[in-house]
Structure 1
Amino acid sequence: MSISRVIRERRSIKNGYKPDAVPESLVLELLNDAVYAPNHGLREPWRFLFVSTENKEAFIERMLPQFAPDQQAKRRELFSEPAAFLIVIMKQDPRQKQWEEDFGATCALIQNFQLLAWERGLGVVWKTNPHNWDPKVHQVLGVQPGEKIVGFLHLGFFDPAAVPDPRPRTPAEQKFTRFQ
């Protein structure tokens, strides 16, 4: 499959995951390619926390108390949908330029991971929910001071017949200008 085709056909898979376990070996294989994202000075500012299918229920039980009681049922539903999670954590450099380079690199890594996963039939949705910034959630997940959760990646295999339709994109020509 061509790169342009994978880019255009990839979708965020938010629900409808199959119950099949997501093998840790597959996640590592995809990550070992995804880490070739451009990153200034090869700082490789990322690290990963994998929540396997087998450990998902324990993860949910540890996460739920971090939410208000009236939100817990909705959070249980959200966390129960995917088969596994990959939490991408970035070391935060206090220098703005380096922080932005590192954030851009980590985002490029996540996009690489999503494209590689799509090619293998593994659905991914990149979530940036409010709990990504919650200090109580950081404590549960072992996120250290000076680190940032860049995304919760929800993972699961999916039925190709149920892939969402593409949403329209603005042609580049409409956002393109020339320096004169």
Structure 2
Amino acid sequence: MELSQLIRARRSIHRFEEREVSLEIVKDMLDTAVWAPNHRMTQPWRFVIVHGEGRKRIAEINPKGKGLLKSDPEKAKEAGTNFYHKMMNVPMFVIVVMKENPVIAIREEDYAATSCVIQNFGLLAWEQGIGMVWESYGFMHEAAFREAVGVQPGEKVVGSLHVGYAAQVPNPQNRVPATDRMTIIDQA
């Protein structure tokens, strides 16, 4: 498939087959994905891969039930069970972590570069027939999640990539053509 076709065909996948993704394939894709543009070559990223029984570390966090514990323990239990099953239905998580540079301009450049790595990874996965969605849920900034996956002080979780073989591929959503949002300056 040509790159332009691959970009247009890629979808965010939320439902996965009950089939594992090869750790070796994911490692290879990440080794290629890091060839993203990176001003200053800081290469601020690192990856935490969570799969198999390790998924329980994320599934047992239960952020949705904690706020309900006192007011409605039954609802809290139900929310926790639903969250647990939702997370355990993800075959593999690739947590993308970025070192936060104290200089804001460099930190923003690093965030952009890390986002490019994620996009590269998503395209490489799609090319291999593997689906992915880039999640950035609020609880990934909380201590329980950070501790569960080993995020250190001075690091930012850029995203949790849910990786697996697609059980369902959504239809494409329309995009506004770039030409509709383009300004061309051709005079001084």
TM exceeding 0.5: yes
Match of 1:135 in 2: 143
Corresponding position of 1:145: 153
Aligned amino acid, residue 84 of structure 1: M
Offset at residue 79 of structure 1 (A): 0.6
Q: TM-score of the superposition, structure 2-length normalised?
A: 0.87
> Structure 1 residues 122 and 76, CA, compared in 2 at 3 Å: closer, same or farther?
same
Does the 8 Å contact 1:34/1:112 carry over to 2? Answer: yes
Q: What is the CA–CA distance in structure 2 between the aligned matches of 1:66 and 1:146, rounded to whole Å?
A: 26
**2-structure distance, mates of 1:9, 1:171:** 16
Percent sequence identity over matched residues? 39
Partner of 2:84: 76
* Pair member with larger Rg: 2
| 1:169 aligned onto 2:175 | yes
Q: Tell me the residue number matched to 1:14.
A: 14
CA RMSD of aligned residues (A): 1.7
In structure 1, the partner of 2:97 is 89
Distance 1:60 1:132 in 2: 12
How many positions carry a matched residue from both structures?
176
Gaps of at least 5 residues in structure 1 are none
- Please name the residue that 1:125 is paired with: 133
1:130-156 Cα deviation digits (max 9, x unpaired): 112112221222111110000000011
Kept after mapping to 2: 8 A contact 1:60/1:76: yes
1:55 is paired with a residue of what secondary structure? helix
User: Distance in 2 between the 1:138 and 1:118 partners?
Assistant: 28
Q: CA deviation at 1:13?
A: 0.4
The answer to whether the aligner puts 1:64 opposite 2:62 as a matched pair is yes
Verify the 8 A CA contact 2:33 2:118 in the aligned structure 1.
yes
Q: Secondary structure at the match of 1:112?
A: helix
After alignment, is 81-90 or 47-56 more displaced?
47-56
Deviation of residue 65 (structure 1)?
7.3
Alpha-carbon contact 1:66-1:136 (below 8 Å) kept: no
Opposite residue 72 of structure 1, the aligned amino acid is: G
Contact 1:20 1:156 in 2 (8 A): yes
Taking the aligned partners of 1:145 and 1:66, their CA distance within structure 2 comes to 24
Runs of 5+ consecutive residues of structure 2 not aligned to the other structure: 70-75
From 108, 111, 114, the equivalent of 1:106 is 114
Q: CA deviation at 1:41?
A: 1.7
Q: Distance in 1 between matches of 2:22 and 2:139?
A: 26
* Structure 1 match to 2:72: none
Q: TM-score, normalised by structure 1?
A: 0.91
